[in-house]
Amino acid sequence: MIKENRVLNEANSLFTQRKFDKALFLYSLLISNFPNNEEYPIYAILCDISIEDENKAIALFDYFFLLKKDDPKEAISYIKNVINAYDGDIEKMMDLLKELNLTTVNQLEAINYEDFQLLIKQRGSFKVAFEDIMFSTKVAIEKKEDFYDFVTKLIDNGFNNMAYNYLEGFQDYFFQDKEIVKLYKRLEEKQNETKHKQ
């Protein structure tokens, strides 16, 4: 018998590193060993979606993880509805995802950081505000200080993959920046904490 949590953690780690083929192998292993677990096939289909669009797969993975923390059954139901709506047809699933506004960062409308902070006050928390816009709007950041603050809050609120994507996207602008190095370290520590909790 395989060690379920250990294999799942390794598979999720590979997925977040965008090593989708290796992740899929481990998810398939979990599916064959634990056929009654409804969660594992979801990860496998996200690997399939990554073939069409890696960013959408990562975004949906992040969203599933957040939903799962609050209500695992609801999270599974939501993702299964997306998958089962078109009997596993990847192209049609991608159309559905487009309808849900799971667009790439470059295609998103922008909100400046000051307006985003107002949205946080209106919604009552960073997590709720960011969930409201994460699939339809990108946060336009011009100041370094705002960037540091934004990525720190992403990490603190469990949006680890989003934080990583923002750090990677801005690394050319902030090359060898000490604060960026600190954020990478903070992100790594947070990811390690998450692994231990699972």
Domain boundaries, the chain: 4-99, 105-197
Which stretches of the chain are DSSP H helices? 4-16, 20-33, 39-52, 54-70, 72-84, 90-99, 113-123, 126-133, 144-156, 160-170, 178-197
Q: How far apart are CA 58 and CA 152, in angstroms?
A: 19
In CATH, what is the architecture of 105-197?
Alpha Horseshoe (1.25)
Mean pLDDT of 187-191: 84
pLDDT of residue 20: 92
What predicted TM-score, i.e. pTM, was given to this entire model? 0.48
pLDDT in tens, 76-132: 887 777 666 545 555 665 565 555 434 333 444 677 888 889 888 888 899 888 887
Of 58, 27, 23, the closest CA to residue 159 belongs to 58
Structure tokens at 30: 């979990």
Task: State the angle between helix axes of 113-123 and 144-156 in degrees (0 to 180), rounded to the nearest 10.
Answer: 30
- Between 114 and 194, whose confidence is greater? 114
Q: How far apart are CA 169 and CA 166, in angstroms?
A: 5
